[in-house]
Structure 1
Amino acid sequence: MDYCRREHGVGVRDGQEDGDQSSLLLDCICSHSRDDDDHPQDDPRWHPWCRWYYFFFFFFLIAVSLDEEHDLGLLQGSQRRHGKHQLSPGMPSISTTQFAWNCAGDAEGQKIIFQLVVDNNRLLELAELIICNTVREMESPVFALFPNILSVGPLLSGQSLDHKPLVHFWPEDTTCVKWLDEQPANSVIYVAFGSFTVFDHRQLQELALGLELSRRPFLWVVRPDLASETSVAWLDSFRERTAGRGKMVSWSPQQQILAHPSIACFLSHCGWNSTMEGVGNGVPFLCWPYFTDQFLNQVYICDVWKIGLRLNDDDKGTEISREQIQERLEELLGDEGIKARAMMWKDIARKGVGEGGSSYNNLKCIVEEMNSVRFLEF
């Protein structure tokens, strides 16, 4: 408990005995569904409902520094508000067109995402602790502003190649691990876009043809729903043409893949979990963000940590060509500085979760706090 008080100013609430403590541990996405009418603030069983706040979408935190009316102006696309904007001191600037709510499709979708950001940040003001899957040293200026955030990342399930995850969205094709075993060290381009990214058919073709032009080994995760109206026959033809150096699977054991010595780089949508998994394994990134926090994650990868390259340098959503993909891959794989920094941040991340590291100590703090409170049951 002393560490918690010293480092974060948190502990058992004044005026309450340890045995009287009650708390909830909430995920930031589902917490907005809380109904104030069902759980009024004067309900003694509910009052401390947000003592803890599990915060895995770190992007939502940044909107704390923005005034709601200002955000609405950005949401409505005011021309005078377009350009670069620094959301908080110590954070990199980002194009206003790439704020989470401005990357959510049509106007109705933008309003929904914006309101989710606003609601979640209002709840953050009530949380006594915010648990975040990141490494303090990787975002130290932001952590200096918010002492009640506890970094506990990177949350990796283990680095052994025989590790099996508890859950996954689709059946994993583990034959790709054996295939990687047969490839030279630092040779394979790993391509994966998470669970939600969707391409149109033409853009998927350009991606495939860019990989083909690279003439390098690649492992590509092609979900059944990755593209709209994709021709199965076209993909089968591509698979046959590249069978000598390419492997396509519907889902992969990603942490095992990124830990494999044959992986050279990660062509990624920059989702936060994928970002942490890549950083934790020292893998350089080629960034192709799709929506929400992924654009800010790209900024950190390319401009702050400098462990990757953007596939597209503009923010206009223009189509990516096969030639761009080939050229960027060659540039990334030939950049020794990016490779060295990727290994440096890997070491920092590993030290963070090692004994005595920042994430290690924060996790101890959380365990101490959990032992001092009683969690509510409904």
Structure 2
Amino acid sequence: MNFAESAEEKTIGSRMAKPHVLVIPYPVQGHVIPLMELSLSLVKHGIKVTFLNTKYNHERIISSFPEGSDIESQLCLVWIADSSESAEKTKKPVTTGEVLKHMPGKVEELIDCMNGSETEKINCVLADQSIGWALDIAEKKGIWRAAFCPAAAAQLVLGLIIPKLIENGIIDKNGTPLRKQTIQLSPTMPSISTENLAWLNVGNQTTQRHIFELMMRNIKSMQLPEWLLCNSNFDLEPFAFKEAPNIIPIGPLMTSNPSGNSAGNFWPQDLTIMKWLDQQSPSSVIYVAFGSFRTMSLTQFQELALGLELSNRPFVWVVQPDFTEGKNYEYPEGFEDRVGDRGRMVGWSPQRKILTHSSVACFISHCGWNSTMESVSNGVPILCWPHFADQFLNKSYVCDVWNVGMDLEQDRRGIITSSEIRNKIEQVLNDGDLKERSKLLKKKVLNGIRQGGSSSNNLDSFIKWIKTKN
């Protein structure tokens, strides 16, 4: 099956004159999930949505839908072919280089195919902000445009001022820092070291170069959309939104599924963990999860295991296959017997449901923006362990701006030791002021997404705008 066939088979049949939006995420899970949830919100308001993935991601999402899911009846899920025959055979995700070179042509062909039909014409392209080339294509085709940022507004602002960073001698034209220093756009915004700029923590040098190239291209592309939406909240980042008033907060986006499950997961979720949580005491469980990209050395993996054991508290630890570098994970000898039923290791979790559960006391997190939003929306304090891209900026928000979490610090070897993990767990759980700040922040965030709140009103305005484009 090629991309054109799959799109036609999926889209033929609807003859109602609804506004039709083509949604294009960057092809990784942390970007797919919030855009799929935004898409479900649009569908609830009578808007037709065609959601585009690469074939590799499309198949993973379909296979991971929980039993009884009705997402496929709500969204028109289509795919474009992966970059090459070898990619199809090896079942690997597309690389950043392929996002730059392969995807644009395939997306343009898909748009031409759909717009060749009177019944399937696209009224609006809603594209991930990190792939501005999709907005360039929409502009060329005369299609209305909207961009969506799944990260913090502060991260988007930082990306848009890259030319100023070059001009001021902070980085060179390739994005390399000219010296180590801290960047802070205003005293009330998060700070970040030049060592931790998003494009410098995304894999090897080739990947870093491609990400920086994407970000440079996006600076011009961000002038094209009529709407620049962000999965954030004005009360979380007031000064970022004042710095860039064209960025419109509509988050944190919560699931539109009656089941409460997140949409767009790449792995099946272990729902049995919820019964175990029901048996735990209130505010007693440590939840540990590092997103879909994290790997760590075997030494670090075992230190984490020992730290959770030393905490003497119940815990849920999300451990995916190949979580350790170059080999399958290996727990310390006797670890599983010693922790017994107090510790639950799962392959992939219903994270949003877990963080809403009354038994959860804190979250040891990589500080991905989706995870951060889910945690602050539930008043759960965070122990920060960033690793990738924008996670260092998010950590600064958690620890320095909102003050709802603590940083886990490495030793001289670059290892976060078991004693550091145990001690920080105790500090967080015994810090009444931190818990109170977490509750107050939760209240502010939820007020924003309730009917009449700032994020809710912004989303309503965007939906009304789409309906005028039919």
TM-score, normalised with respect to structure 2: 0.68
Aligned ranges 1:132-151 → 2 under 5 Å: 132-151=230-249
Q: Aligned Cα RMSD in Å?
A: 2.6
Summarize deviations over 1:279-307 as a string: whole Å, max 9, x none.
11110000000110100000001111110
Per mean C-alpha deviation after superposition, the further-off stretch among 255-264 and 22-31 is 22-31
Per mean C-alpha deviation after superposition, the further-off stretch among 231-240 and 135-144 is 231-240
Match of residue 329 from structure 1: 425
Partners of 1:138 and 1:288 in 2: CA distance:
20
Is 1:255 matched up with 2:352?
Answer: yes
Is 1:173 matched up with 2:270?
Answer: yes
Match of residue 462 from structure 2: 366
Q: Give the counterpart letter for 2:158 in structure 1.
A: I
Match of residue 16 from structure 1: none
Q: Percent identity at matched positions?
A: 41
> Secondary structure at the residue paired with 1:117?
helix
Q: Give the counterpart letter for 1:29 in structure 2.
A: S
- For structure 1, the 5+ residue unaligned runs are 1-20
Is 1:53 matched up with 2:147?
Answer: yes
Partners of 1:66 and 1:165 in 2: CA distance:
33
Number of aligned residues? 343
Partners of 2:267 and 2:201 in 1: CA distance:
26
Change (3 A) 1:326 1:354: same
Change (3 A) 1:317 1:156: farther
Aligned residue among 188, 194, 200 for 1:102 = 200
| Offset of residue 349 of structure 1 | 0.8
| Offset of residue 204 of structure 1 | 0.7
Change (3 A) 1:329 1:263: same
> Secondary structure at the residue paired with 1:234?
coil
Q: Give the counterpart letter for 1:370 in structure 2.
A: I
- Report if aligned partners of 1:66, 1:87 keep a CA contact under 8 Å in 2: no
Q: Give the counterpart letter for 1:24 in structure 2.
A: V
Aligned residue among 91, 112, 120 for 2:210 = 112
Is 1:346 matched up with 2:442?
Answer: yes
Is 1:297 matched up with 2:394?
Answer: yes
Change (3 A) 1:282 1:224: same
Change (3 A) 1:232 1:83: closer
> Secondary structure at the residue paired with 2:341?
coil
Match of residue 126 from structure 1: 224
Q: Give the counterpart letter for 1:52 in structure 2.
A: A
- Greater relative contact order (Cα < 8 A, sep 6+): 1
Aligned ranges 1:1-378 → 2 under 5 Å: 23-32=124-133, 39=137, 43=140, 45-46=141-142, 51-58=145-152, 59-67=155-163, 69=166, 70=169, 71-72=171-172, 75-78=175-178, 81-87=179-185, 90-157=188-255, 163-231=260-328, 234=331, 237-312=334-409, 318-374=414-470
Change (3 A) 1:32 1:198: farther
Per mean C-alpha deviation after superposition, the further-off stretch among 226-235 and 289-298 is 226-235
Change (3 A) 1:64 1:220: same
| Offset of residue 236 of structure 1 | 8.3
> Secondary structure at the residue paired with 2:379?
coil
Summarize deviations over 1:66-102 as a string: whole Å, max 9, x none.
3263432683342xx3121124675222111111122
TM-score, normalised with respect to structure 1: 0.83
- For structure 2, the 5+ residue unaligned runs are 1-121
Change (3 A) 1:89 1:233: closer
Summarize deviations over 1:292-340 as a string: whole Å, max 9, x none.
01000000011111100000279x9821111111111111111111100
| Offset of residue 54 of structure 1 | 1.3
Per mean C-alpha deviation after superposition, the further-off stretch among 61-70 and 288-297 is 61-70
- Report if aligned partners of 1:269, 1:287 keep a CA contact under 8 Å in 2: yes
Match of residue 5 from structure 1: none
- Report if aligned partners of 1:159, 1:256 keep a CA contact under 8 Å in 2: no
